[in-house]
Structure 1
Amino acid sequence: MFNIIKDVITKENYELVDILNKINKLWVENTLTEEQRDELVNLARTNANPNNSYAENTIQIANLWEYYQRLDIRLSKLENGQGTTEPELEEWPQYVQPTGAHDAYKAGDKVTFQSKKYICKMDGCVWNPLVYPSAWELVEE
């Protein structure tokens, strides 16, 4: 089983969270040794392709609905002569799961994730700091 999973990872046609869950499941079932699990997890994180790790449609729809609501509020304010300036952006906004390449995090982006602050270290990052910790730098306060 180790060689099959390794072959899938080497071909780089997998979703990172999905493959990590499968690797851990095989490890829990004693199909993989701890050393094999560690090797596969590191290989999966190294070879991960952001284009394979987009959120499911339900998450995309929820994010679009939230975006629509914000736009509707802004439009209403503009129509009523209120607030013609852009809103001030928060320095450490909450992490939001990207839905595609268009909203993936870039190197230098700052986020708050599980009450901790992180700075993204790679372009095209669609993973949170728990799934792909080497893509994020924890900022100590």
Structure 2
Amino acid sequence: MYEILKEVITSKRYELTDMLRKIDTLWAQGDLTDEQRTELTKLAQDNADPSMSLDFERQLKSLEERVAALEKSSGAEPEEYPEYVPGKWYYNGDGCTFEGEKYKCIAPEGQVCTWSPKEYPNYWEKVE
């Protein structure tokens, strides 16, 4: 199973969150060693292609825009570090709260980050 996952990850034809879930499931079932899990997780994070998640992302972005419009019409001020939303598009400078900690997205300009600070720490910086 390890070799199959490694081949899929190397092909870059996967969605990161799903792949990390599969790796953890196989590890929990005893099909992967701790070392294999660590290696595959890092490889998956390093080779992830955000475009593999775009259909879902477009739908989510549309919903976010609708919610923002509703909040604007209600006069509600957006929170600077709202709770992290899985799959949401975060851009450089966006803030979120994840597992009780505040983070700022440091993805390169023009790049989108759809992963949590835990899943892809290279695109996040802890604040405060």
TM-score (norm 1): 0.70
Q: 2:17 is matched with which residue?
A: 17
Q: 1:92 is matched with which residue?
A: 81
- C-alpha displacement at 1:17, in angstroms? 1.2
Q: Which amino acid aligns with 1:106?
A: Y
Residue of 88, 105, 120 corresponding to 1:120: 105
- C-alpha displacement at 1:21, in angstroms? 1.2
Q: Which amino acid aligns with 2:122?
A: S
Unaligned segments of structure 1, at least 5 residues: 78-82
What is the aligned residue count?
124
> What's the % identity of the aligned pairs?
42
Whole-Å Cα distance in 1 between the matches of residues 37 and 14 of structure 2? 16
Q: 1:30 is matched with which residue?
A: 30
Whole-Å Cα distance in 1 between the matches of residues 65 and 91 of structure 2? 23
Greater Cα offset, 46-55 or 59-68? 59-68
Q: 2:6 is matched with which residue?
A: 6
Whole-Å Cα distance in 2 between the matches of residues 105 and 56 of structure 1? 14
Q: 1:136 is matched with which residue?
A: 124
Whole-Å Cα distance in 2 between the matches of residues 96 and 66 of structure 1? 15
TM-score (norm 2): 0.76
Q: Radius of gyration: which is bigger?
A: 1
- C-alpha displacement at 1:38, in angstroms? 0.7
Whole-Å Cα distance in 2 between the matches of residues 19 and 97 of structure 1? 15
Q: 1:80 is matched with which residue?
A: none
Unaligned segments of structure 2, at least 5 residues: none
Q: Which amino acid aligns with 1:114?
A: E
Cα deviation code 1:13-54 (max 9, x no counterpart)? 111111111111111222211111111000000011112235
